[in-house]
Amino acid sequence: MSIVNYNVEDRVAYITLNRPEKRNALNANMVTALKEAFEEGKNDELAKVIVLKAEGDVFCAGADLAYLQQLQKNTYEENLADSHHLKSLFHQIYTHPKIVIAKIQGHAIAGGCGLASVCDFSLASPETKFGYTEVRIGFIPAIVSLFLIRKIGEGKSRELLLSGELISAEDALSFGLINKVVPLDELDQTVGSLTQNLVEKNSAQSMALTKEMIANIQEMDMTEGLSYAAEMNAKARATEDCKKGMAAFLDKMKLNW
């Protein structure tokens, strides 16, 4: 049985955490399997959008207990390599050329909350709890901090990362951590509507370029950022999707993306 499943339906790739008996907790093997699945999604011409979801009642409970025990025995070099392993997964999702939507039907804690943080859209059921509980066990939420501060700002990030408190889905929504709270029995339908809207109405090239721009432009000052934006503007105009979209707009024709 695979710990991460991958399948495509109606131009949407579904990447599914499949360790429900362990509350979909993360370990090195799970991180590897996720990286492989996202790489497959990147190269899959049948998939335009990706949905990250999980089997069972919990989205992801953070690090696996056996995994945490092993980390205590590692050398610094081994722990550094393992940290880079997780870092590359978060960066892979954050910079993925395809839109990634997290469907969160149960608690997302620590590393699981980190996964939700780096997705482009996160939709959760009202019962879901979120939190970065690392400080409760003498650890630190190191890698996710960079992405979280970018996403919700320093003030709210400090509150979440330093307190280690679990928050409700509604609070996560108000913090800007997630995009929508949806009743559990409507979650599949709502995620499906979002994916089909993106698939049918948006250019894949445009979404990829926009994600690239969002990731890069925050590092720049005003002058550098505006120059970069102008270059991206010119780059986008040369794409086949832009030529197709402009022609359809001018001719008042319905686009088929």
| Residues designated as active site | 134
All residues at 6 or more sequence positions from 48 whose CB lies less than 8 Å from its CB, including other chains: 11, 12, 98, 198, 199, 204
What is the four-CA torsion angle of 122, 91, 93, 236, rounded to 10 degrees? Answer: 100
Edge to edge, what strands does the sheet with 99-104 contain? Answer: 4-9, 12-17, 49-54, 99-104, 121-124, 180-181
- List the structure tokens of 71: 């980390």
DSSP-H helix ranges across the chain: 28-43, 65-73, 76-94, 111-118, 142-152, 154-163, 169-175, 184-201, 204-217, 222-237, 240-250
Closest Cα to residue 170, out of 207, 227, 129? 129
How far is it, in rounded angstroms, from Cα 153 to Cα 166?
18
12 contacts 195 by C-beta, under 8 angstroms: yes
Amino acid making up residue 1: M
The structure tokens 């207990």 sit at 65
| In the block, residue with structure tokens 């995994």 | 67
- Work out the end-to-end distance of the chain between its first and last CA atoms, rounded to an integer number of angstroms: 35
